[in-house]
Amino acid sequence: KPVEQIKLPIAKEMELFETKFKDSMLSKIPLLNRITYYIVRRKGKQMRPMFVFLVAKMVSNGGFDERTYRGASVVELIHTATLVHDDVVDDSNRRRGFFSMNALWKNKIAVLVGDYLLSKGLLLSIDNEDFDLLKLISIAVREMSEGELLQIEKARKLDITEEVYFEIIRQKTATLIAACCGIGAASVGANNETVQQMRKFGEYIGIAFQIKDDLFDYTEDKIGKPTGIDIKEQKMTLPLIYTLNTCSPKEKSWLINSVKKHNTNKKRVKEVIAFVKQNGGLEYTTAKMHDYKNKALAILNNYPDSDYKNSLLQMIDYVVERKI
């Protein structure tokens, strides 16, 4: 398992983190504890805490601080809050192969649980006077909210530009990974230049991560992941944006018509996917993803070799090569 391999140099930290993260959600309200119990059992790969720990260790040559644990808990709390809210916003019933919060408890409860997790994250920093970490995470919260709204405003427009697409994914996805890497560095007292460099590093990986996610919507369904969901939702992502910008006027109006009027017709969506592929939309998008991967690699080159750096290198590979 690639992720297990990557975790090796921080196995002890990840194990201790488990308990700390669980404790960070405790409440006096029984309903909340039932829900957070469900969250912990359905946890994801915990890539974001891994970024916090690996960056903290890489920039300080294995050094560590209790603040690093709090930084990891804060990012995982905020990440969980955003997913809970995202599934409400997207009206999505599934998350990580299980029922989403809103599917099980309805929107009302999901919105409030998201707010609770957000406040617990912010308070964890405030109570410990980790104001530098608090600032980094707060920037990410603001940008994610802006990114979601920018997506609502622009992603269904057929004349969306590549520039706007990249701004949406930078804000909605990359900014949180940027915060993880910045927080990792800041938690061990790295100077501002290093913190900013690590934020950039995280941003590049985050952009590559979302491009990969958007590519999944066009790639053959071999692993039980549905394709064509973004098209059905009329969400324009890079493969389609590129195709719209490079095909003939006649093909363009067919595409526009497909997305505008036939987006719920499965056969037509499959034809759109086939057309995008034939037009080189996936090669183009994959090349862009690799550009961002290489930008992230270039930053890592400034740091001396270590097990932590090695894990971060594997993490970058995992982001662009993963099958789910």
130 binds ligand 2DE (CB under 6 A): no
Taking CB under 5 A as the criterion, the residue among 18, 38, 63, 86 binding Mg ion is: 86
Nearer to ligand 2DE, 13 or 217 (CB): 217
What gap in Å lies between CA 172 and CA 235, rounded to an integer?
14
C-beta closer to Mg ion: residue 18 or 86? 86
Contact call for residue 68 and ligand 2DE (CB under 6 A): no
Does residue number 86 form part of the binding site for ligand 2DE (CB under 6 A)? yes
Residue, CB closest to Mg ion: 90
CA dist., res. 100 & res. 98, Å (int)? 6
CB nearer to ligand 2DE: pick between 92 and 310: 92
Cα separation, 213 vs 211, in Å, equals 5
Beta carbon of residue 117, minimum distance to ligand 2DE (angstroms, whole number):
7
Report if residue 90 touches Mg ion, rule: CB under 5 A: yes
Instruction: Name the segment binding Mg ion (CB under 5 A); options: 52-60, 85-93, 104-112, 255-263.
Output: 85-93
CA 246/CA 256 separation, integer angstroms: 13
168 binds, among Mg ion, ligand 2DE, none (CB under 5 to 8 A by kind): none
Q: Does 81 bind ligand 2DE (CB under 6 A)?
A: yes
Give the x/- contact pattern for ligand 2DE in 131-150, rule: CB under 6 A.
Answer: ----------x--xx--x--
Q: How far apart are CB 100 and ligand 2DE at their closest, in Å? A: 9
What distance in Å separates the CA atoms of residue 77 and residue 316, rounded to the nearest whole number? 23
Judged by CB under 5 A, does residue 307 bind Mg ion? Answer: no
Work out which of 132, 146, 213, 271 binds Mg ion, going by CB under 5 A. 213
Q: Which of Mg ion, ligand 2DE, none does residue 185 bind to, with CB < 5 to 8 Å depending on kind? A: none
Q: Which of residues 198-237 bind ligand 2DE (CB under 6 A)?
A: none
Choose from ligand 2DE, Mg ion, none: what does 227 bind? Cβ within 5-8 Å by kind: none
Residues of this chain that interact with Mg ion (CB under 5 A) are: 86, 90, 213
Residues of this chain that interact with ligand 2DE (CB under 6 A) are: 78, 81-82, 85-86, 89-90, 92, 114, 118, 141, 144-145, 148, 172-173
